């Protein structure tokens, strides 16, 4: 029948706190100093204000297990995603593990702008290839054309030195200079994956089934 938590004011090193099955209506100002708390059970109380309750727990960066079910605040339609978003350290909420999909849904619901940025992140790499080489797609193939070398440019046997000498010697045909510049460039290849469809290590281990192939969009341009 506990209703007041002022007796916890001097307890700074608690790591586990079991306050379930009591008559708590508000925890504001009573628990925020418990930064080392890892397990907090508050189920079956009379906590009504979800925002104030979660705000009190935000400083608990070590909190991993939290129970808030059987409280009026748990009737909020977005209750679970709200708690997951604002208390990211929680791994077990109301006796149910927090999944990666729930974290992504919570991010999309409460921070749509950041969610769009995360989903748009791609990874890229340079593909060094000579002009006219096909890399994954026939669209990268350039038409072959004979390069007319300027006179007096054959001074080095090494290709790199040869190209450098071309850069210093004017070409009779401007198109030859453009072609040579294109030959020294590399392709940039960007790939994007829908991370919401990629299972985490924990999900693969728990589901114990073969992972479906990922859908990857790859774009190459010079």
Q: What percentage of the chain reaches a pLDDT higher than 70?
A: 60
194-219 pLDDT, tens digit per residue, is 777 777 777 776 766 556 666 666 76
Q: What is the dihedral of CA 87, 90, 94, 99, to 10 degrees?
A: 100
80-120 pLDDT, tens digit per residue, is 999 999 999 999 999 999 999 999 888 888 887 776 666 66
Angle at 116 between CA 110 and CA 117, to 5 degrees: 115
Cβ neighbors of 22 (< 8 A, separation 6 or more) are: 1, 2, 3, 44, 45
Task: Give the confidence band of 127 by pLDDT, cuts at 50, 70, 90.
Answer: low
* Domains defined for the chain, CATH in brackets: 6-116 (3.80.10.10), 186-221 (no CATH)
Alpha-carbon distance of 61 to 78, in angstroms, equals 22
DSSP letters along 168-181, please? Answer: HS--SSHHHHHHHH
The predicted structure's pLDDT at residue 107:
87
What integer is the mean pLDDT of 115-130? Answer: 58
The predicted structure's pLDDT at residue 183:
64
Residue with tokens 């009591």, as numbered in its chain: 22
């Amino acid at each position: 029948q506990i209703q007041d938590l002022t007796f916890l004011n001097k307890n700074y090193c608690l790591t586990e706190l079991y306050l379930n099955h009591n008559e708590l209506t508000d925890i504001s100002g009573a628990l925020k100093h418990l930064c080392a708390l890892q397990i907090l059970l508050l189920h079956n109380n009379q906590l009504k204000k979800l925002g104030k309750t979660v705000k009190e727990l935000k400083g608990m960066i070590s909190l991993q297990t939290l129970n808030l079910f059987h409280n009026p605040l748990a009737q909020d339609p977005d209750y679970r995603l709200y708690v997951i978003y604002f208390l990211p350290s929680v791994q077990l909420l109301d006796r149910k593990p927090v999944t990666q999909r729930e974290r992504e849904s919570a991010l999309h619901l409460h921070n749509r702008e950041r969610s769009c940025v995360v989903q748009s992140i791609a990874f890229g790499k340079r593909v060094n290839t000579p002009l006219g080489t096909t890399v994954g797609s026939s669209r990268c193939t350039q038409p072959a054309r004979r390069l007319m070398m300027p006179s007096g440019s054959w001074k080095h046997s090494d290709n790199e030195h040869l190209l450098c000498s071309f850069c210093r010697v004017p070409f009779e045909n401007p198109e030859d200079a453009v072609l040579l510049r294109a030959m020294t460039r590399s392709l940039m290849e960007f790939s994007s994956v829908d991370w919401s469809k990629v299972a985490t290590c924990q999900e693969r281990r728990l589901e114990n089934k073969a992972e479906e192939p990922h859908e990857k969009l790859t774009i190459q341009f010079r």
